Amino acid sequence: MTSSVPKSVPQFYNQQWATVQGINDYNLFLIMFEPALQYSYSLLGQLRGKKLLEVGCGSGQQAVWFASQGSQVTAIDVSDKSVHSTQWAAKEHNVKLVARRMDAAQLQFPAETFDLIYLNSVLMHVNHSTVLKECARVLNPGGKIVIVEPLRSNPLLRIYRRFFSPYAKMNPQYLTLRQFQQFPAQVGFSGMEHREFSFLALAALPFYHLFSDQRKARALSSPLEKADTALLKLVPLLHPWCWVTVVQYQK
């Protein structure tokens, strides 16, 4: 099978998951996105007995959590090391799941296989429409897909991503909120819900990445995240300028 993902992507993640430092760096990323992730989990609803596909399973932490909640998890990634890390994490936490190397643009599953599909920071590496169409194909009628994804528009983020982000070498194609709003008509989903996170809380980003001071970062980000909740309700025009969006589509 020929992958539709640029070679730099599996190479980058193979290197990341091969070292303890790489996994720790990813765990830091999960901490930075924690409010968005917690909200995304709430959108999934009751997991027990549900067939869940995680596209882009990373270190396996989220796949393990889904499995611990009683879902039947299938986790895929283009990185061999990611698959191995996920299998190891499942063994360490004594949960059952299936982890496979697979290209998200060519899902090797029959139509209408899964009740839920989850993606975290995947679309920036792939052909957006192709992957979402494949997700729609393997999703059961009435099923839903939940997506956590960094947004493109904020100019401060663009500076950070160009000069400081370790992901820059993969040339990620970040999406706008407007693109997410257009996907239901393009792909065949029936509707969209979304919520954005980290407008003011972006001020904590240097402490996470550049200064490696999680204590200061959390002390700063926590009140700013609370302020963001109020601010984004009052000023909807700020939503496209946030760091991350959580999107739910229904089939």
Rounded mean pLDDT of 119-128? Answer: 94
SS3 72: strand
Rounded mean pLDDT of 9-32? Answer: 74
Residue 94 one-letter amino acid: N
pTM assigned to the model: 0.92
Contact 180, 171 (CB under 8 A): no
Gap between the Cα atoms of 136 and 144, Å rounded: 9
Lowest mean pLDDT among 27-31, 85-89, 106-110, 243-247: 27-31
Rounded mean pLDDT of 212-227? Answer: 81
Gap between the Cα atoms of 216 and 218, Å rounded: 6
- Of the pLDDT bands very low, low, confident and very high (cuts 50, 70, 90), residue 6 is low
Q: DSSP letter at 140?
A: E
Longest Cα–Cα distance in the chain:
49
* Cβ partners under 8 Å of residue 95, min gap 6: 64, 67, 68
Q: Which of 148, 136, 236, 241 is nearest to 189 (CA)?
A: 136
Give the CA dihedral 207, 15, 174, 206, nearest 10 degrees.
10
* Cβ partners under 8 Å of residue 129, min gap 6: 183, 186, 187
